[in-house]
Amino acid sequence: MAKRRRKLVRLVSRALLGPIVGKMPKSSIESLEKLSYLPKIERHIQDIIPVADAQIVRHEIDAPFPPFLRTEAAFGKRNLYVLNDAVVSPHSGMVWIEKRIVEESVGSLRRIMDWGDILHEPLLPVRKLHVREPVVVCHPASYYHWLLEVLPNLLFAISRFPDVKIVVPEKVPGYIAEGLATALGANASDRFITCPSPVRVATLVMPQYHTVPEFTHPDVMDLLKSEVKSKVMGEGGTNVARHPDVGENLYVSRRRSRRRRLAGEDLLEGKLRDLGFTVLHCEELSFAEQVHAFHRAKTVVATHGAGLSNLVWSEAPCRVVEIFPKNYILDCFSWLSFSLGFDYRYVICSTGHKLDQQAIAAVLQQI
């Protein structure tokens, strides 16, 4: 009797909410290429366009670094997928066909599990989008992921499909709106389609996301400099007015951020100001001002955070000093620094999320 009741509950749940409910994520997330032998999946695949070959990147660094600051990364091949009759979310870029989430649209199972708050998306109502042109999604993400993943993938898609329409959600952060206007031009909004919920499209251009987002591919850095930075700086670097208070030595502060703030940061800021550093709150600068400020930077000191994504705009020689809380160390910005040929240093706070006098002294010694 108990087994029959459990079976009945599963049947009712599936009928009301769909086949994804109650399953472990791996049973609903699959690689498009892995399943391409199935006729019901194959009919959705119009084309697979190679963007980059598989590659191992090694940085030969003179100074020794601990294992948690990796100097070697393996990049799998990356494609653009052209799909027929696919459903996509404007909020996450997640794609699903035949009730299966396409792994290449999110990067990996690990990444989608980190997101957490989007696992319900395949259960939302879907409306059909009536456009003749191919469609690509530019979904919101944190500044790091949007700048170094979403925007480059969008630029790759546009380079191959110049008439592609861009699906965006109803509300996007200011840096996304400014970044798109910078990268695509003032008339870019003519190709935008605003969608509040998942949509079914006739032809979808789906970029492939890297499984390990800590590593930025060298091609991405080159693309951002050629297609975005060049438009901000203009001929001779005069296309945008320079922020009057920004010098060549920068401290990127997180004191006004809600997450991962370090106690005692005000003490470090005071000492750095005395040494001629400019304290930047990147959230208060326009997209173009951030590009310009980091382009001129010769020394960048920062607590670990998204502001360091702007290192992609900097040029060697540049010294980077990154400050980590004791229990939160990620090597995405050391990788970015190694890739760009910068002199990278780091300090780990021994007192958790607090910059005590010992940590401040360690930072000043690295400058």
- Asked if pLDDT for residue 235 goes beyond 50, the answer is no
pLDDT at position 43 = 97
Nearest to 90 by CA among 144, 126, 134: 126
More confident residue, 26 or 241: 26
- Asked if pLDDT for residue 293 goes beyond 60, the answer is yes
Question: Hey, where are the domains in the chain?
Answer: 43-227, 240-366
User: Which CATH code for domain 240-366?
Assistant: 3.40.50.360
pLDDT at position 86 = 97
Choice among 251-255, 259-263, 331-335, 362-366 with the minimum mean pLDDT? 259-263
pLDDT at position 236 = 44
Q: Are strands 45-52 and 165-168 parallel, antiparallel or unpaired?
A: unpaired
The pLDDT of 61-82, averaged and rounded, is 94
Question: Which band of pLDDT confidence, cut at 50, 70 and 90, is reported for residue 179?
Answer: very high
Choice among 212-216, 218-222, 259-263, 269-273 with the minimum mean pLDDT? 259-263
- Round to the nearest angstrom and report the end-to-end CA distance of the chain: 72
- Asked if pLDDT for residue 130 goes beyond 60, the answer is yes
- Asked if pLDDT for residue 3 goes beyond 80, the answer is no
Summary mean pLDDT of the chain: 89
pLDDT digits (tens, 9 = 90+) for 321-356: 999 998 889 999 999 999 999 999 999 998 878 899
